[in-house]
Structure 1
Amino acid sequence: MKKIFFSYGLVLLSTSALAQSSVTLYGSLDMGVDFNTNSKGSHLVQAVAGKRQPDRFGFLIREDLGGGTAAVARLESGFLTGTGASISPTSFFNRYAYVGLTNNSYGTVTMGNIPDYVYEYIGALNNAVPGISSFYTTGNLDGLANTRALNNSVKYESPDFYGFQFGLMNAFGNQAGDFSSGRQYSIGAKYWHGPAKVSFAYSMSHDRTADLFGIFGVTSVLGQKLGTGVLFNADRYSTLAIAGSYQIDRFLPHLTYTDVKLTNSEGSVRERNYQGGVNMDLTGTHEYILGLSYNRSIFQELTFNQYNVFLDWYLSKSTELYAGVGLERASGPNAHAAQFGYQVSTSDSQTIGRVGIHHLF
């Protein structure tokens, strides 16, 4: 990350130009070549961006106000290195956009466009760290990959008490006369201290859609007919997530469990996801990291088992060369393998391999 110091008088043309803010510019660039054994029925070799980590750039802004209090803000935008295009045609700062206040004793309050606690507290502990995007759970229904943030949200996060933190947030639906319509909320708690990391999170969305046909190939769920471009409409969409890891010398075993529940007036359906693996520092210098992991996702009568291997070579703290392979097998009625971030297979199996380079700044 690079820090640049600006005067409000120069940047904002403010008349009160005595205060100083620190502005940190940061980002991530990733490019690689993929091989997919079954992409809609055909082998596919492609150069594609953002499969190790999402391509993005952002600004962290902080102004010390005295007495342990500071104003904070963050703006982060996702893009694709391969084309230079934004990942969203409708919002520029599509990953983070918030402003707030933080205090050493009382915690932090922010408002804006912010990911939920499932992503922020659980996302760092799953199989995709380290790994590639296909190591996330089938369909990413649990949101461990940061593909959406909560609009119009207010978030509180406690100070760090010897590794323990908790928080809650509410995203307003902004519907006149109906407070619950479109509303989303999330709570989370974590204990990250020394070699141990344990996290819990729960998120609920009102009136949210999911592409169950595109992911699982199901044509009817809870009385709703589905098809290409026709999404399932959930009155309630909840995610419960628990994760943990523990550093043992060069080995980092980790476990993650998520339970996604979609509900409407006809009842509910669930996707349960189990992830486990171990990351190994092969030399003890954090130069070569080997990751072995396993995913199991269950949705109705469909089961997806995936086996992953990942090798990381850190050329520096900021630059890495990597290679990863994920092998998925699906079972159940009309089952099709479907690794996250890639086209669905026409059979019950799919293998995706990738080699690439990733740089943080």
Structure 2
Amino acid sequence: MKTPLLVGGCAALLSCPALAQSSATIYGSIDTGIDFVTNAHGGHLVQESAGKRTPDRWGFLLREDLGGGNSAFARLESGYLSNTGAQINPNSFFNRDAYVGLANDKWGSLSFGNIPDYIYEYVGALNNSVPGISSFYTIGNLDGLANTHPLNNSVKYQTINFHGFQAGVMNSFGNQAGDFSAGRQYSFGVRYGNGIVKFGAAYTMSHNRTADVFGVFSLTSLLGQPLRAGVQFNASRYSTIAVGGSVVIGAFTPHFTYTDVKLENAQGAEHERNYQTGVNIDLSGGAHLYILRVTYDHSTFDNLAFNQYNLFFTHYLSKVTQVYAGVGLQRASGPNAHAEQFGYLASSSNTQTVGRIGINHMF
């Protein structure tokens, strides 16, 4: 929903040479469905849940034309759960986005605030979960493709879109006196899109960041650190490389994504490597009314391996409303391996199947 606004109150009382124009957009997404999980901590689970197709969220996008090719912009975006009405992060109201900036139609844009990194922005939309359900993301979402870790205290620069090419760099300040690198994060990326071919690549580095290695992989130690429930792995350096792409070939859109997550401390490093590939098939002959997606995920970490096979069907009732059904089968192998699809309780065995039917409406 867009609401045009007039900015420049001086025009009411003073003589102004021009009256700047502004727009305010209120937008969001509501997604609710029924899940069927074969093994959730040892038992079958049937539940209603929200935000598994696309995160429930609402927000404001503000833009003011300053003239001369310049503009000001701001975004505030908050996540919630439509099945309960609860705020998804009780400690952060605008947990997904909160930033303000300036843009020039020749030089690009500069923004400040709480901003997702380029892993999410440039590669996230190319992975197996779009369209899909959250369980199609990589194991534990350590690579951040699902945007659960925006960068606080960030400064971000992004070029204009030049014949399909765009690039950007950002820095997140640690805000710790006497140690500039402590808690600091930075990210950069490039992407290209021409309607048929899409490609993205990005890198993010975080200093002094934690990861729930025990909760995701059931490992009781990693790189000399003992782990248990509620105790996270402390990485002195936590880096992610991501690349992805897709191409439209008639009714078929094959796609791939690769991410490499590196956790480091003084004793060494461990990698989570994720490979995703699949194809979207337009069953409606180019009308994009019925889309079938078949995908495969392969992930490795320490001595563990995870293979997942996904099937997803979407019926677009309109440009903003869709009904869907999806299923994912995951098999884990390695010492004490437990299957755990992202966003769901871990299995008590090395296999887990998650199915979901639901409806998603964008506004």
TM-score range with shorter-chain normalisation? over 0.9
Name the CA distance, whole Å, in 2 between partners of 1:6 and 1:54.
Answer: 29
Q: Provide, for residues 276-307 of structure 1, a one-character-per-residue CA deviation record: whole Å limited to 9, x for no partner.
A: 00001101211100000000000011000000
The runs of 5 or more residues in structure 1 that have no matched partner are: none
Change (3 A) 1:155 1:121: same
Q: Is the 2:20–2:67 Cα contact (8 Å) retained in structure 1?
A: no
**What is the aligned counterpart of 1:360 among 354, 359, 362?**
362
State how 1:1-361 maps to structure 2 within 5 Å.
Answer: 2-8=1-7, 19-284=20-285, 285-361=287-363
| CA positional deviation for 1:5 | 2.0
- Deviations 1:213-233, CA, capped at 9 Å, x for gaps: 000000000110000000000
1:21 CA drift (Å): 1.7
Aligned to 1:145, the other structure's residue is in SS state: coil
TM-score, normalised by the number of residues in structure 2: 0.96
- 2:108–2:159: 8 Å Cα contact kept in structure 1? yes
Q: Give how far 1:7 is off.
A: 3.9
Residue 193 of structure 1 deviates from its aligned partner by 1.4
Superposition deviation, residue 8 in structure 1: 4.6
CA distance in 2, matches of 1:100, 1:120: 17
Distance 2:190 2:219 in 1: 35
CA distance in 2, matches of 1:7, 1:158: 28
> Aligned pairs, how many?
358
Distance in 2 (CA, whole Å) between partners of 1:335 and 1:303 is: 8
Structure 2: tracts of 5 or more residues without a match? none
Q: CA deviation at 1:74?
A: 0.4
Percent identity reads 65
Residues in 1 aligned to 2:219 and 2:317: alpha-carbon distance in whole angstroms: 45
Offset at 1:20? 3.5
TM-score relative to the length of structure 1 = 0.97
Query: CA deviation digits over 1:197-239, x for unaligned, max 9?
Result: 1111000000000000000000000110000000000000000
C-alpha distance in 2 between matches for 1:246 and 1:77:
32
Q: CA deviation at 1:194?
A: 3.1
Q: RMSD across aligned C-alpha pairs, in angstroms?
A: 1.6
**Could you say what secondary structure the match of 2:216 adopts?**
helix
